[in-house]
Structure 1
Amino acid sequence: MAETPVLRIVTPEEVPMLELDPVDPTALIQAKEIVDDVRKTGEAGLRKHALRLGDIPDATSKYVLDKAEMKAAFDSLPEDEQALLLRTRDRIQAFAQCQLDSVQSMETSIPGGRAGHTLSPMAVAGCYAPGGRYPLPSSVLMTAVTARTAGVKTVVVASPRPAPVTVAAAHVAGADLLLCIGGAQGIAALAFGTPCVPACDIIVGPGNKWVTAAKSLVQGRCAIDMLAGPSEVLAIADGSADADVLAADMLAQAEHDTDARPILVTPDAALAHRVNARIAARLAELPTRDTAAEACKKGFIVVCPDMDSAIAVSDSIAPEHLEIQTENAQEVADKCLDYGGLFIGSRAAEVLGDYGAGPNHVLPTGGTGKYTGGLSVFNFVRIRTWMRIDAVGDAQQVVKDSVQLARLEGLEGHARSAECRLLQ
């Protein structure tokens, strides 16, 4: 009897439809209770839920680390780990600075005057890093370094029960303080503030389903980056691709979480079977196989009639991470329209993006790459427009048009306001 493939093989017509709502309904109900309680009762509510959910050992525990404590954590690390964090920070910072430099304040002529826009960073950013199955110092660097590069004045990192390397990463990123509370209660603290934590203008970073639900609840009180669901990787590959490399990339994503989705799309049916064989072999010896095996049940391989069909399948999914492992990788990449982050060629492993090659690893999931991009300095910057009229005579046509448009819309007060600028 043939062995069941690790990733099920489907046709383009059988590709599972994605659930585009990243907010779990049950988690939303639970998160709302916590968020409302923290909003109404402040620090008392925060401490209550942090204690109940295991973020702090007792009701009077200190829950914020300052700069000196973050630096002490960094100083306690071996020198090679210190150097690793610094190198990673520098690469993330260099890329973010190039992004920021690509957009400048500007001004131009308008009838009778000048208009333009200015770039202004937000004042306070909250940067969330998960603290569950694995410590994620990389997420601290990706979020807090980007906020700092954008010019944010106060950067708050939040991570439940942070490991020493996570605390050290907050120091390296230049954070002002670290909130050692996570979940919906941590998001509520960032949104509403506490005696120790300033209320944030924006909250960014990945988290579990309660974090995502809480971000959806506080959106409007402050900005958020995105509502992220389970992580995904999709590789478009042809017969030239290395099946073992593809298997390694699928499992790298699968070990994230049991809900992660590893996907391969190929016009080569033989490659599909080779990759499945290598996934099975690698899975048998992977320390995180219990998690990865569950995630593989949610993944699949799509065998397509040709490369154009493979690209169309990829665009319909709009994956968080899109790898192109084909003979003509750049040509295929140029035809792809919808994704979070793009990794061109077999050498550009998605995991290099995870660990700070340059571009940010906080990326849209669940098909949302069709209308948004990943985290960047622009999430922390306000582009605000202005106008000035210096010569009202030269602006008369604009004034007359404003009067006419206002009356077309039935807004007489608008029309009369514009009429005040008409020259007699």
Structure 2
Amino acid sequence: MATTNGDKKHVLNHITPEQVAIEIKDPVDPKALEQAKAILQELRQKDGETSSIAPTGVVRSSKLLEIGKRFGDIAQDATTYVVSSEDCKKAFEELPDGHRQALVNIHGRVKAFAEAQRATVKDMEMDIPGGKAGHTVSACKAAGCYAPGGRYPLPSSVVMTVATARAAGCEKVILASPKPAQITLAAAHIAGVDQFLCVGGAQAIAAMAYGVDGEGGAAAVARCDCICGPGNKWVTAAKSIVNGYCGIDMLAGPSEVLVICDDTANPEVVAADLIAQAEHDVVARAILLSTDSDMIKNVDAEVAKQIDALPEPNKSTALEALKQSFAIKCDSIDQCVALSDDIAPEHLEIQTREAMKVGEQCANYGGLFVGEHAAEVLGDYGAGPNHTLPTGATSRYTGGLSVFNFLRIRTWMRVDKADDSQPMVQDSIVMARLEGLEGHARAAEKRQK
């Protein structure tokens, strides 16, 4: 709960650096995992079957339609779980001019950034004793993209996932999003989706991971090699189940922002950025680290004022999220950086003197936003870098969604000159026998001159 100081209520909890609990939480909810397993099982069983399904079992078309209706993804009288490309195009064309142009602009920036990323990774080769070795870079064939369709429509997630898969070079891109709004359909059109499934939750992940059979004239869905995009706890649980059968980008948890600021920051701006993150979800988290006590007080006052001006349900959502949010007075910027690296936030904002220098000292974050004008929301809406970022301290070992999630780096080698390869052959014989693998040693000896 929010703490109090005299008769002034703090919207953010005020804690000390020593009170920070670094929790590495499992993003997969146990109950949701059990429910997701049941949904996947049902989707891949024929009527009357009770036995377990082999990993290669595809999703049944009739079951996907049935479960989509059961969970409210699609209307009860719907006859298909697919949105046509013509409907997506129509939705785009019927947008007001300003909305359509904003979508085009955002897609262009995300596409340009992803293409620039792709250009940094190329095929290569080098000399080895007696021959050559190298790697090739190629995209997986089919990508599955998920865009949430719950509390708010998120066309930005459509653009972030689909445009990135396209820039990587995926031949086929499938999108799933339940109860799609017009702007979501329009985003699917501009991003270049091949097939749009209007189902959500675990059922959507199953359809993309295993494919859909298309029996009885229903739409068949190709199984995807990689699935990406944020979603609710059932989406996350289902992604954890199919991981390994196909690739996934990450298991994302509640969204979070951490702002490091000193006495030069603008409290109105800092407060607005904290609230923007808090309105995402009741379990989102907004964190403020500052070297200035007055700044924390001023941000508190601004948060209270600005949150009162929010409409519903944004206001109540943000207020609930702020219950697990906090502010810390730090002794120095170095202490701010150290705490931030321990927390390893999804979004990290730096609003200090020499902000870029401070940002370069930080090691763990999903996305970095440097300076007062680099609002995290600009990252949400297509400055270029992807907004699908690691949460829950997982930025200690991974980064956000990028073209690299869809690329395969495959190595190769060849030996043209057996005489020149003999030192390498001899080393292999020695090492194989040190490991006790006599068959390996003898295979290498077959290459001795």
Query: What is the TM-score with the length of structure 1 in the denominator?
Result: 0.98
Pairs within 5 Å for 1:79-98: 79-98=97-116
Structure 1 position 28 matched with structure 2 position 52:
no
Partner of 1:203: 227
Shift of the alpha carbon at 1:411? 1.0
Uncovered stretches (5+) of structure 2, i.e. residues with no partner: 1-5, 47-59, 215-219
Pairs within 5 Å for 1:179-328: 179-194=197-212, 195=214, 196-287=220-311, 288-328=314-354
Distance in 1 between residues matched to 2:105 and 2:32, nearest whole Å: 37
Partner of 1:48: 66
Deviations 1:31-62, CA, capped at 9 Å, x for gaps: 11111222334223322321211112237621
Structure 1 position 356 matched with structure 2 position 382:
yes
Partner of 1:341: 367
Pairs within 5 Å for 1:13-24: 13-24=18-29
Structure 1 position 141 matched with structure 2 position 159:
yes
Shift of the alpha carbon at 1:73? 1.6
Shift of the alpha carbon at 1:19? 4.1
Shift of the alpha carbon at 1:216? 0.3
1:113 aligned to which of 125, 131, 135: 131
Partners of 1:47 and 1:59 within 8 A in 2: no
Distance in 2 between residues matched to 1:298 and 1:174, nearest whole Å: 39
Name the SS for the 2:153 alignment partner: coil
Runs of 4+ in 1 over 4 A off after TM superposition: none
Distance in 2 between residues matched to 1:265 and 1:115, nearest whole Å: 49
Distance in 1 between residues matched to 2:66 and 2:429, nearest whole Å: 58
1:405 aligned to which of 419, 431, 447: 431
- Specify the code of the residue in structure 2 equivalent to 1:57: A
2:88 aligned to which of 44, 67, 70: 70
1:377 aligned to which of 381, 399, 403: 403
Partners of 2:65 and 2:80 within 8 A in 1: no
Partners of 1:48 and 1:59 within 8 A in 2: no
Name the SS for the 1:40 alignment partner: coil
Deviations 1:375-422, CA, capped at 9 Å, x for gaps: 000101101111010101100011111111111111111111111111
Q: Percent identity?
A: 56
Partners of 1:146 and 1:377 within 8 A in 2: yes
Distance in 2 between residues matched to 1:370 and 1:320, nearest whole Å: 10
Partners of 1:256 and 1:291 within 8 A in 2: yes
Partners of 2:68 and 2:81 within 8 A in 1: no
Partner of 1:39: 44
Deviations 1:132-154, CA, capped at 9 Å, x for gaps: 01110000000000000110000
Q: How many residues align?
A: 423
- Specify the code of the residue in structure 1 equivalent to 2:150: G
Distance in 1 between residues matched to 2:203 and 2:310, nearest whole Å: 34
What root-mean-square deviation, in Å, do the aligned CA atoms of Structure 1 and Structure 2 show?
Answer: 1.1
Distance in 2 between residues matched to 1:313 and 1:348, nearest whole Å: 21
Uncovered stretches (5+) of structure 1, i.e. residues with no partner: none
Distance in 2 between residues matched to 1:72 and 1:117, nearest whole Å: 43
